[in-house]
Amino acid sequence: MSDPEAVLSGTRLSVDEYLDDFKDNFWHDNNGVNWKLERRQEFVESSNESWEASRRNDWRRSLDLLEEGRANIAAYERRISDKGMEVRRVRVVEKPITPYLLWELTSLHVRHQVGGKIRVVERDQVRAFETGGTVLPELFLLGRTIAYQVLYDGEGVLSGAVKCTVPDEVGHWGDVVASLYHQGEELGSFFDREVARQLPLAG
């Protein structure tokens, strides 16, 4: 799958500019519900040792590293909750599930178990939004005020973002992601049915 062109209007940010801007806006003057949409089926997580281990097919090490990170993820989720925020994530999953998604869904399952709000939608549920060859963008929306379209190169490496503050656009995409979230299946049940049995260590 190729990435969509920027569909949000706004300021193009480099990787460092995006990460700094997001951090500032996420942790300051932000409360209520934030929305995250992940559409790509492959990303490159080169700074993540657990992902690197899964790429080497060392799943025992990969899963051990995820478990070692559980306490930090739980602390992060508590910090979000303590600030009166929620992050509701929608993960689009196509079948057959890619090796990358086996890893990511396992990682997200740890987050789900410590309070992360994550739901899964499948290909048919996004079809109505992807007519004419369009593909849903990767999005992170801070309430109804800021939307980031997160950009990646053809390999799935983060390349920057577009920051949009146009109320109509932010509202539109917030409604789209909220609609998908409300249609989605809780990650826990999806993971138990579709992911756990496919992990190389299953059984």
Per-residue pLDDT 10s for the chain (203 aa) are 444 567 899 999 999 999 999 999 999 989 899 999 999 999 999 889 999 999 999 999 999 999 999 999 999 999 999 999 999 999 999 999 999 999 999 999 999 999 999 999 999 999 999 988 889 999 999 999 999 999 999 999 999 999 999 999 999 999 999 999 999 999 999 999 999 999 987 65
Distance CA 180, CA 169 (A): 17
Instruction: Say which amino acid occupies 57.
Output: N
- The whole model's pTM is what? 0.94
State residue 201's pLDDT score: 78
Domains identified in the chain and CATH numbers:
11-198 (3.30.870)
State residue 4's pLDDT score: 53
Please, what is the end-to-end C-alpha distance for the chain in angstroms? 32
| In contact, 160 and 15? CB cutoff 8 Å | yes
State residue 173's pLDDT score: 97
Distance CA 200, CA 99 (A): 10
